[in-house]
Amino acid sequence: MSSPEPPEPPRSPPGRRWLRRIGVAALLAVGLAVILRPVDEGRPHDTGMAALQAEIQRRAPGRDLALLDLDALEANARAVRADVHPDLTLRLVTKSLPSLPLIRHLMQRLGTDRLMAFSEPFLDTLLTDFGAEADILLGKPLPAPAAARLLAQHRHTDRVCWLVDHPRRLAAYRAVAERAGRRLRLCIELDVGLRRGGVRAPDALVALLDAIAASRWLDLGGFMGYDGHVPHAPPVIADSDAEFAAVHRRYAALVDAGRAAHPALFGSPLIYDSGGSGTFRRYGARPASPVNGVSVGSAFLAPAHRPALRADGLKPALLLAAPVLKALDVAHVPFDDHVGPLLGWWDVNLSRHHFLTAGGWPADLRSPPGLRRHPLWDDGPIVVNLLPNQPLYAGSPGVGLSEGDVVFFDPWQSDAVVGFAELTLLSEGAVVGAWPTWRGGH
């Protein structure tokens, strides 16, 4: 006779089993959240930035500032001049140096009177400030009506070289010159590889020279062939060194064709412009072309979106500074007072809120380390508001910021300073003066 089966253990009600499972899952989730909590990235200003903050709080408290380090500017100017062959002149790209005293300072420091302008208002101001003192080359073609307005406003335009890129623009400039009764110097844009417009073929160049030679109102001022594409050669299909050499072969071939067709136009000294902040170091030797001048702008200031300049030893010369307007220990966000503190508990780098007086600039945050735009408030990869109202930067208590302290930004491009009325000048960490910025609008 078989023994009876042992009784089954009592089973928990289904509701309790689900509660236990939910409890275990919750504990696992909390444990995982604790394990995955971001580390504290907040750090106070380093010694140099803390000293600069103290200097600003002493000399210009409570102000948004664009800071220009004159010592870095001087070092960069020495480096640029040393890296470009002494027989090649330097032309200052004013778009990237938007302050007339800054431009004049570099002109004197580098011994150059050559400038490059890109807009009607800036050319208007350069002509007003420098008159016939500067040789000014247009870095892009201006519409013919803009040239007509400038001719009507200024007597001293003999040293302006107006850029033309095709026959229709040349004809429009000829009409402007005839109506004004003024001779114009024209510089012909050569497409030596950038493919942004300009003359590519010898017959097209000769056609432009034919038109210049046939008009008593037009003179040939020279040529511009920008090589800005060279540093960006895709490694799989092109080589930067080979492309740089090809640029100058194309440049030389076009000039040779033009000289053969119209030797009389080449009798006086002409502008043969090339180069830029991305390529000026390639001009340590004379290129295999007629190029006699190199245009440089951003290299003197080495902004954040020019990392190659910094890698080559140039020093960042610009900083933007914004005071902390409000520092909040409780990280609340709109609509739910629990979400912000909960997020701050999980990520200590979001646990403290710092509202700044400004900071919507196209720039990277420089100091103190660990600040960031809040993902629930003001996040996004693109700057959309250059004059924000109290932008929020979150951080941990480790950043050590209080109201009146300063947050520093590294501008992407030197053009960013046009949002400020002046450049605050620094030397050896001290405020030593100010220069007005370019205020004429685009």
Secondary-structure percent of the chain, ordered helix, strand, coil, rounded to 5: 40, 20, 40
Answer whether residue 406 shows pLDDT above 80. yes
Are 173 and 60 part of one and the same domain?
Answer: no
Averaged pLDDT, 303-324: 97
Q: Which residue has the higher pLDDT, 386 or 9?
A: 386
> What's the pLDDT at 419?
87
- The verdict on 144 and 56 lying in the same domain is no
Task: Please give the pLDDT value at position 3.
Answer: 61
Q: How many domains are there within the chain?
A: 2
Assess whether 120 and 266 both reside in one domain: yes
Same domain as 329, residue 246: no
Q: Kindly tell me if the per-residue pLDDT of 25 is higher than 70.
A: no
Domain range for 130? 88-291
174 and 97 belong to one structural domain: yes
Reduce the DSSP state of residue 10 to 3 states and report it.
coil
- Residue 384, pLDDT score: 77
Please say which residue of 291, 324, 344 terminates a domain: 291
Mean residue pLDDT of the chain comes to 92
Domain boundary among 259, 291, 323: 291
- Residue 197: CATH number of its domain: 3.20.20.10
Higher pLDDT among residues 82 and 389, named by residue: 82
Token pair for 395: 């951080």
What percent of the chain clears pLDDT 70, i.e. is strictly above it? 91
Per the model's pLDDT, the better-predicted residue between 71 and 32 turns out to be 71
Is residue 60 exposed (0-12), middle (13-18) or buried (19+ Cβ within 10 Å)?
Answer: middle
Report if residue 82 sits inside a domain. no
- Evaluate whether residue 432 is within a structural domain: yes
**Helix, coil or strand: residue 99:** coil
* pLDDT of res. 387: 84
- 1's CB contacts (< 8 A; 6+ apart) are none
Same domain as 320, residue 261: no
Confidence at 27, pLDDT banded by 50, 70, 90: low
**Last-in-domain residue among 291, 307, 335:** 291
Average pLDDT over residues 79-87: 98
| Same domain, residue pair 181 and 260 | yes
> Per-residue pLDDT tens for 141-194?
999 999 999 999 999 999 999 999 999 999 999 999 999 999 999 999 999 999
pLDDT band at residue 12, thresholds of 50, 70 and 90? low
Query: Is 286 in the same domain as 321?
Result: no
Dist. CA 45–CA 62, nearest whole Å? 18
pLDDT band at 356 (very low <50, low <70, confident <90, very high): very high
Task: Report how far apart the first and last C-alpha atoms of the chain are (Å, whole number).
Answer: 106
pLDDT tens digits, 199-224: 999 999 999 999 999 999 999 999 99
**Is residue 30 situated within a structural domain?**
no
Indicate if 52 and 115 belong to the same structural domain.
Answer: no
Q: What is the pLDDT of residues 369-386, one digit of tens each?
A: 999 988 888 766 677 788
Distances (CA, A) of 353 to 48, 79, 206, 327, 383: 24, 42, 64, 6, 20
Give the 3-state secondary structure of residue 414: helix
Q: What is the pLDDT of residue 34?
A: 62
Report the CATH number at residue 326: 2.40.37
What CA–CA distances, in Å, run from 196 to 304, 364, 442? 25, 29, 21
Distances (CA, A) of 240 to 236, 245, 246, 294, 306: 11, 9, 10, 18, 17
* pLDDT-wise least confident of 22-26, 242-246, 286-290, 414-418: 22-26
**Shared domain check, 217 and 156:** yes
Instruction: Provide the whole-model pTM.
Output: 0.91
132 and 159 Cβ atoms separated by less than 8 Å: yes
Residues 273 and 150 in one domain: yes
Do 257 and 326 belong to one domain?
no
